[in-house]
A and B are shown apart, each in its own frame.
Chain A
Amino acid sequence: MNLDFSNDQKYLQEEARKFFDKEGGLSKARDVMDNALQLDKELWQKIVDLGWTGIRIPEEYEGLGLGHLELCVIAEELGRSLAPVPFSSSVYFFTEALIKYANDEIKTDILPSLVSGEIIGTYGIAEDMHQATESNLSVSVSTDNISGIKIAVPDAGIASHMIVVAKSSSGTDLRLVDLQDSSVTINLQKNLDTSKSFFKVEFDNTPSKLIGKSGEGWIYIQHLLDQAAVLFAFEQVGGSQAALDMAKAYSMERFAFGRQIGSYQAIKHKLADMYISLTLAKSNCYYGAWALSSESAELPLASATARVSATKAFQLCSKENIQTHGGNGFTWEYDCHLFYKRSKVLSILLGSEATWKEKLVTSLEKTNTLEKG
């Protein structure tokens, strides 16, 4: 039994943590928030220089050719630091889509530039404020040109390319679009967490390239979502741990009625519940990481479980961190709200908790037997 990361992966995690501690991810997130910057360019360049955008990209395309587990440990540290960079859009989603489904020509064209940072990618699924399904998509493709509107597209203001889920004559396609094309209009949308940015992207007969087979796009996107859900769950676990650490530190230094508030059972039990929720989420993430890295058929169940569990943990830890801080927690000055807002955005970015619970139970329905723990 070895449900653990390797020493090399743990070393990478430690290096990532030191890097974000030194760079001050939280203050960078705050800077982006206060100045509507969309990303911290300097931090992003350093991440590119470390080679992390190319972790999963095969060596023949100038990447590091590593596995998903390396990505998991970096995701946890990103989540802890709230670093304002387009890592999840570009690395968990865009890059994975190309590695998995694109032809050699596209790979040769794009992958090396993702490693070098010349290309930043993102993805667009949502079109309205409800759950996207294959039948309610309206962005459509006709002879390789796409038209329609995607909303809540993460990082589109700084991305150069985008994977678009679009209706085609054979069903649903994944389409690669160059966002610099003059037919594309991109507008920033207001959102709850301004340390991240979301955009409305309009296509008007925009040229696009097919990724994989026409008509298979919805199957591809489900798999990409399942993969990304595990990585997002690691970010959520990292964020949960940071919120719990903050609550703990404050409960040790804050005095009320002549004693540390952390000595009251009301606070202790709250923090114990945060720890319990975080521990369950982390263990479910390890299961997800195993399924992701071993390309197991259990991935849909494992990713939904990691996702739901981590969503619950981050929501609990971030809201109870505010509560532990009392009035201070409700100020702009304290960092509590950064985690609260990030937890909300991460919990819906790939689809809501309800959507993922439904995926989880759908997988359970297909399971004939469960092995007892």
Chain B
Amino acid sequence: MDFKDTPEQAKFRAECREWLEANAELKENKSGRNIDSSLDDHLKVAKEWQQKKYDAGWAMLHWPKEYGGIEASPIERIIWGQEESKFNVPGGIFEIGLGMCGPVMMQYATEEQKSRYLSPMAEGKEIWCQLFSEPSAGSDVAGLRSKAEKDGDDWIINGQKVWTSGAHYSDFGILVVRHDPDIAKHKGLTFFFVDMKSPGITVKPIKQITGQAGSGAGFNEVYFDDVRIPDSQRLGEIGDGWKVAITTLMNERLAVGDAKGSDIEEALILSKTKDDAGEAMIKNDSVREKLADWFCEANGLKYTKFRTISALSKGEAPGPEASITKIVSANKLQEIGNFGIDSGDMAGMLIDDEDGVSSFQGAWLGAPGLRIAGGTDEILRNVIAERVLGLPQDPRADKGIAFKDIPTKV
């Protein structure tokens, strides 16, 4: 047992590090808060950084060589990610494109389309989003109702998508819609990619419980009113939409990992430094108990990740242990945010005039969203129970009937 890189990994890490040091600045403070810049500024900086990475060959390591990647192993992607995260560089804009849309285009688009779209995606010139969830189709995303009707060589799309990250600045999107409500739920879906500037598309940022809307990689509602998509932009066969979507969602589950934000480190620093009725908070037994619990969780997740990396490092398939990550980290984030706010006692609800919401307040406000995004706590428990432990599926009321006959209300 050791935590060392193999010689090849150490060499790759050194290469990453060398390039990053020459091209970016190290973060001064690991847990520093994000400084809000305007969206346009953020996009500009993010696009420049992506282009820089592309030119040097770091932009989409895992992509096949024919599309400009280096077919990096999972462990090399992790090493790159570990090193890049130590630098003060923009993120959160291209992950959906490179992680989900790119691979789906490689698998299903024509050669002509691939040469048209993949390079600008990788270079950061064009941004992509993913249009799956709908107002009445969240955890049960296959229950989506946006319609696609064939009209000559085109499809006409009507309906609404929701929780679309980055739709307000995206150039293209991947889209699942229902072409036939008279057949079974999962069979009536078809998959497309769409130009987000198409006539009939309206993007409305969602104002979240944080009070934010449209900042950073914010969420949106996307309305489709008689939007025309050429049949040539269909990915997969008519009726294969669910199969194509599942491939993409599997990638999302992998991508949504640790909840970012206040963790045990910050709770510990706060407890050691903040005064509580004349003593450091850490002298309070109830605080000590919480710190112990959070440390067990945070440390357990850290070494769970190390176990996964160890398996990848040996070229083995990792076990299912990483499936616990999001549930544990999002709930811990919520508790630690709550704890940090409470440390202000009677005045904990106040927001600093200059600094804005503290990282603890931000964690507390954002955590409910993290417990839902990318699979709710409840769906993830089902996933663990069914796919890891092998328990049977729930009996379902939507099997063996046409989509239009599935109950939707009492």
Question: Interface residues, chain A, CB within 8 Å of chain B?
Answer: 1-5, 69, 244, 248, 251-252, 259-260, 262-265, 267-269, 271-273, 275-276, 279-284, 286-287, 289-290, 293-294, 305, 308-309, 312, 357-358, 360-361, 364-365, 367, 369-370, 372-373
- A280: chain B residues at CB < 8 Å are 296-297, 300-301, 304, 324, 328
When A283-B321, A305-B296 are in contact, do A268 and B386 touch as well, CB less than 8 Å?
yes
Which of B268, B296, B389 is the most central at the interface, judged by chain A CB atoms within 10 Å of its CB? B296
A290-B1, A365-B282 known; A271 and B310 CB under 8 Å?
Answer: no
CB <8 Å contact, B306 and A3: yes
CB-defined contacts of B385 to chain A, threshold 8 Å = 262, 268-269, 271-272
Asked if B335 is an interface residue, CB under 8 A from chain A, the answer is no
Establish whether residues B4 and A2, one from each chain, have CB atoms under 8 Å apart when the complex forms: yes
Please, which residue of chain B has its CB at the minimum distance from the CB of A267? Answer: B391
Q: Once the chains bind, are A4 and B307 in contact (CB under 8 Å)? A: yes
Select one of B4, B296, B298, B327 contacting A1, CB under 8 A: B4
- B289 partner residues in chain A, CB cutoff 8 A: 357
Shortest C-beta distance, A368 to chain B (Å), equals 10
B202 part of interface (Cβ distance < 8 Å): no
- Please name all residues of chain A whose beta carbon is closer than 8 Å to the beta carbon of B9 when the two chains form the complex: 1
Interface SS majority for chain B: helix
By a CB distance below 8 angstroms, the chain B residues around A281 are 300
How many angstroms from the CA of A53 to the CA of B347 in the assembled complex?
A: 60
A284: chain B residues within 8 A (beta carbon): 296, 299-300, 303
**Residues of chain B within 8 A of A264, CB atoms compared:** 394
Cβ contact within 8 Å between A373 and B302:
yes
Chain B 246-263, CB-CB to A under 8 Å as 1, else 0, gives 000000000000100001
With an 8 A cutoff between CB atoms, is B278 at the interface?
A: no
12 contacts between A and B (CB under 8 A): A3-B310, A4-B311, A5-B1, A252-B391, A252-B392, A275-B384, A276-B384, A280-B296, A280-B328, A284-B296, A305-B296, A308-B296
Known contacts A248-B391, A272-B385; can you find 6 more A-B pairs with CB under 8 A?
Answer: A1-B310, A3-B310, A267-B391, A271-B391, A275-B389, A287-B299
Check if B388 is an interface residue, CB within 8 A of chain A: yes
Given contacts A271-B385, A357-B289, contact A373 B296 (CB under 8 A): no
Residues on A with beta carbons closer than 8 Å to the beta carbon of B380: 272
Q: Does B272 interact with chain A (Cβ within 8 Å)?
A: yes
User: Which of B298, B307, B378 is A3 in contact with, Cβ under 8 Å?
Assistant: B307
